[in-house]
Structure 1
Amino acid sequence: MNTENWKKDYEEFEKVTRDFYDGKVSVPEYKGFSGGFGSYAQRGGKASMLRLRLPGGRVTKDKLKFITDSIRKYNIDKVHFTTCQTIQLHNLNADAVCSIAVEALDHGIVTRGGGGDFPRNVMVSPLSGVEQGEYFDVSPYAEAAAEYLMTLIKTVKMPRKLKVAFSNSPANRTHATFRDLGFVAREDGTFDVYSAGGLGNNAKMGVLVAEGVEGSKILYYIRAMVDLFTTYGNYENRAKARTRYMQDVLGDKYTEEFQKKLDAVFASGVNMDIPEEKITAENVPAAENEAGAHGKTDGADAPMHVTKSGDGSTVEDSRVTAQKQDGLYAVEYHPIGGCPNPEKLIEIYDAIKDMDQVELRVAPDETVYIINCTGNEAKKILDVTNDGAASLFETSVACIGASICQVGVRDSQKLLATLVDAAREWNFPEGTLPRIHISGCPSSCGTHQIGRIGFRGGMKKVDGKPVSAFVLYVNGKEGEPAQFGEQLGTILEEEIPAFMKALGEEVAASGRDFETWYTENPEKLKEIAAPYL
């Protein structure tokens, strides 16, 4: 992907952005424009955020160096790992947001289409290519998909955004079975394809539209999905414009209509096969993996082909995962709420810059993995990242929240911070409290519908006055088979700590961890919650 082709677009972005900060463009008008460049004004209209597209959540050394250089250059004080495997930079002024968006292009980062009605960041299982037990490495296919989707930004007008995901195993870390389009790896080296799923209002599991699809053919399925969306998507009502609403429109005929679009794509005679050399990692020289580590790139990262071997050093830690490459490890780092101290990213870069083939992967749960480490290298990374989550509960997921997000209803980051502080005082045994998921509004950026416990921002009237509250969801589940949580009721924000403490006391008294306790007592959680609803 030649990022030079995008630079002209950013001239208009800068003009409109400066007009917005000069008061010549309204907040709604600017939102409709800037989202297409991966940027939105934050609540209050005095600062901006910028979303860095990172296909598969992959952060090479060159990309990380660019981010850390930007942190220093523009005094960035807030960073967020998102559940769509991107990195958001916050509290930017007009100069910073305009400059960073353009400078990013020289490092293979295109913010174009990061918001608005466009194909979004392509998601990939974060350890694809290095994970023990994966069916196969899906990342080369995802990279090809990402390149293709970018070509549609200027040529196709869609009703709303389109999210495409790839999973490499039944763990389904990317929720590929309920995205707008999901490619789910099979043991036989092919994909099952799911369509028109999604979280948020009217949440839907995806429709299984194809089985056993050869990886080289995936672009035909993406084009068919785009054509189906532009045919049956709702251009009149944005609230019903996501692909999942097409299940309601087409009903039992959904798979049939998808197949018709697919047949038409194949019949068009346009060759969309992915060339073998693009999806065979063994054909990529190892040196290319470090392309741009100390300089600029042309905007395309070489597919990762790990040629590194362990050096005999080993490491054991709850945050360390052994890779399928002998003697190599991935280190897990989960900053609270997915918001690392920006200085910590600088420390991480300084630690890995001279480590062969080490890079970062942002996961869909706001975790980041530092991969391809030897045992001794992993120990160094563990020390650098010791400020992150210290328990399962502290790995809870929260969107950026209403203190920053224009459409947010409640401050999900504030709630999580309050609960983490309280849980440290309660000091329950590890595993007593589960990971929870918090969204500030119905959009489900915090994936509240797939947590055993989820909270979604809302309000509750007390003595006739609106009071800050969250809607409680229970019984969601990730992996395969996944399931959406059920809505129990609304709980005042100030009472959520008491509810979580009561839950923790009940689980701790049983001598079991939460998942075991919940499996044995599925209705007990509802009983504990009832007095607070």
Structure 2
Amino acid sequence: MRNLRQILLEEIPEFKAKGEAFLKGELGKMDFKKVSGGFGVYAHRDGKHFMIRLRILSGVLGKEQLVAICNLAERYAVPMIHLTTRQAIQFHKLSLDNICKVMEEGLEYNLYTRGAGGNYPRNVAMSPLAGLMKEEAFDVVPYAMAANAYFLQRINTYHLPRKLKVSFTSDKADGSQATVQDMGFVATLKDNKPYFKLYLGGGLGRNPRKGIPVDRLLPAEEALYALEAMVQFFTHEGDYEHHHKARVRYIADRMGDEAFVNCFWKYFETAKVKGGLDFSPEMPKYTKVGKTVEINHIAITSQKQEGLYSYYFHPLGGQLDYRLLRKISNLIEPMTDVHVRLSMGEGLYLVHLDGEEVQQVAEALDADNYLLGVEQTRSCIGVPICQMGILESQKALKAIVDYFKAKGNIKKSLPPIYISGCPNSCGVHQIAGIGLVGNKKKIDGVLTGIYDVYMKGKCTVGETHLGELIGEVQEDQLPGFLYDLASKIEATHQSFDQYMEANKEEVEQLLSK
């Protein structure tokens, strides 16, 4: 990685020159975005400040890197840190000079931003508790990390039609959303040997698609050949002319599922002939001696390692400042083998805690943890920061939580709500029990903010389905609609799914008020 670091360091001055041209008005917004995205940087809506996205490889964050992130955030007075829906960390509201300093100094700690945006392979996602779950097929951590290394080694050389998203999942809960990615690897066992069930050509956003389940199982040691096959497939068959039809899923639409899968396997066989990508990892050994305690806590999960636990921390809307992140860092610093795993839900796990440590962590962090009812709501950044945003999705999230709390009941009858401030699905609304999408329309001649309401989305292996659009609600009426819905469900003593199955028309009427 030393040579890669040097290459990336040498790219920064050229990036900065483009940024300066943008700030002077010499380079247009979209032309700058074409350059900046590949560096993991996007301009804010005000045209003066910037966001930088740190690739946290498969969400695994060691103590040294966590300290480095805290130091960078404090040194450059980062006012807002965002935990994303793809296991990354974003710094917001920075000057161009400070963006470049974060980019440069982060490389010292293997904190990469290259390819965190733009038409590049993105951070490889992974089940956040891979290797720790009792009901997993096998530990996918080494495979996800090998995939990250494979992409990073050549990250500055890619010329893809659009972004490429890859995920590794180790259990049926699909914690990395592998069933709705461009390429998903789902761990499975056959004759007690590790294989991957592949899901190809999925994706959220405009014209979403579930991944095509591939019948032929992939021996786990051939995972990197499959990656190389997908890169070559996408490079040769993707659409470079039409930006909005350039994702992998449009190739599947054009070819049809069967021909698409067959074509992928042709590229796979070509990669195999070239060779050099066999991968048989030494599986991680977890040696920490645990301490078992009796505990019943919403944020705490027992690991398959006896006497060890994970604690899930979810800041409201995925937003936190460096002081809170520093508190977490200082808390785990003396704890043996404890590290951070970022989730796909704008939160983080502290893993490998023994019974005493997990109680200490809960006591320290519970007051800042949002896990009850609608507090679990996820949201993209939205307006006024995002250039593409239509509505203020983070403001909507806070309005929902505040409304429920003002009513004196946080309500637990609703599933987690996912909010996207525009149809691009950064809030992954299409796989939510309740998904909300920001939009605008004229009502009585006045341009009004509305949320399209999707329901009954789900993302689990073998049961993934995309949410169904059932109506819309005006922006200012959103909290009241959700509270009324929660109250109706509570009154029936049914689950959300049971209620929706029997009362879909009633919900549609509630939306039409």
| TM-score, length basis structure 1 | 0.91
Structure 1 residue 524 displacement after superposition? 4.1
The one-letter amino acid paired with 1:36 is G
* Closer/same/farther in 2, CA of residues 70 and 457 from structure 1, 3 Å limit: same
Pick which of 438-447 and 256-265 moved more: 256-265
Q: Deviation at 1:379? A: 1.7
Structure-to-structure mapping, 1:142-221, within 5 angstroms = 142-188=144-190, 189-209=194-214, 211-221=216-226
2:402 and 2:69 mapped to 1: Cα distance?
29
2:266 equivalent in structure 1: 260
1:493 aligns with 2:475: yes
Deviates more, 1:142-151 or 1:313-322: 313-322
What is the distance in 1 between the residues matched to 2:359 and 2:399?
30
Give the aligned partner of residue 237 of structure 1.
Answer: 242
Q: Partner letter of residue 375 of structure 2?
A: E
Alignment partner, residue 63 of structure 2:
61
> Are the structure 2 counterparts of residues 313 and 70 from structure 1 closer, same or farther at C-alpha, using a change threshold of 3 Å?
same
Contact 1:233 1:241 in 2 (8 A): yes
Task: Give 1:76's aligned residue.
Answer: 78
Unaligned runs of at least 5 residues, structure 2: none
- Is 1:483 matched with 2:488? no
* Structure 1 counterpart of 2:472, one-letter code: T
Equivalent residues of 1:52, 1:114 under 8 A apart: yes
RMSD of equivalent CA atoms: 1.7
Counterpart amino acid of residue 458 in structure 1: N
Residue range with higher mean Cα deviation, 305-314 or 154-163? 305-314
Q: Say if 2:460 is the partner of 1:454.
A: no
Identity of aligned residues (%): 36
| Partner in structure 2 of residue 289 of structure 1 | none
Q: Does 1:329 align with 2:334?
A: no
Distance 1:94 1:142 in 2: 32
Shift, 1:375, TM fit: 1.6
Separation (CA, whole Å) in 2 of partners of 1:355 and 1:159: 45
Task: Show structure 1 runs of 4+ deviating over 6 A.
Answer: none
| Matches of 1:474 and 1:391, distance apart in 2 | 20
Moved more, 513-522 or 230-239: 513-522
Whichever residue aligns with residue 236 of structure 1, its letter is E
**How far apart, in 2, do the equivalents of 1:160 and 1:474 lie?**
28
C-alpha deviation, 1:515, in angstroms: 4.2
Q: How many residues align?
A: 505
CA displacement 1:411-442 (0-9 Å, x = unmatched): 11010000010111233475222211100111
State the distance in 2 between where 1:381 and 1:519 align: 40
Please list, as runs of the form range in 1=range in 2, the aligned pairs for 1:53-452 lying within 5 A after superposition: 53-188=55-190, 189-209=194-214, 211-251=216-256, 252-267=258-273, 269-274=274-279, 276=280, 279-282=281-284, 305-313=285-293, 315-386=295-366, 387-428=368-409, 430-452=411-433
Matched position secondary structure for 1:44: coil
Contact 1:441-1:456 within 8 A present in 2 as well: yes
The residue type equivalent to 1:161 in the other structure is: K
- State the alpha-carbon separation in 2 of the partners of residues 486 and 434 from structure 1: 15
Q: CA offsets, 1:427-485, max 9 Å, x none?
A: 34752222111001111010111111111110121122211111111111121311101
Q: Is the 8 A contact 2:179 2:459 kept in 1?
A: no
Retained in 2: the 8 A contact 1:132–1:324?
yes
Deviation at 1:209, TM superposition (A): 3.3
**Offset at 1:332?**
0.7
Worse overlay, 500-509 or 383-392: 383-392
Supply the distance in 2 between the matched residues of 1:360 and 1:444 (Cα, whole angstroms): 26
The SS at the match of 1:88 is strand
CA contact (8 A) 1:4 1:105 kept: no
Counterpart Cα distance in 1 of 2:309 and 2:6: 36
Determine the C-alpha separation between the residues in 2 that align with 1:525 and 1:482. 23
1:157 deviates by 0.8
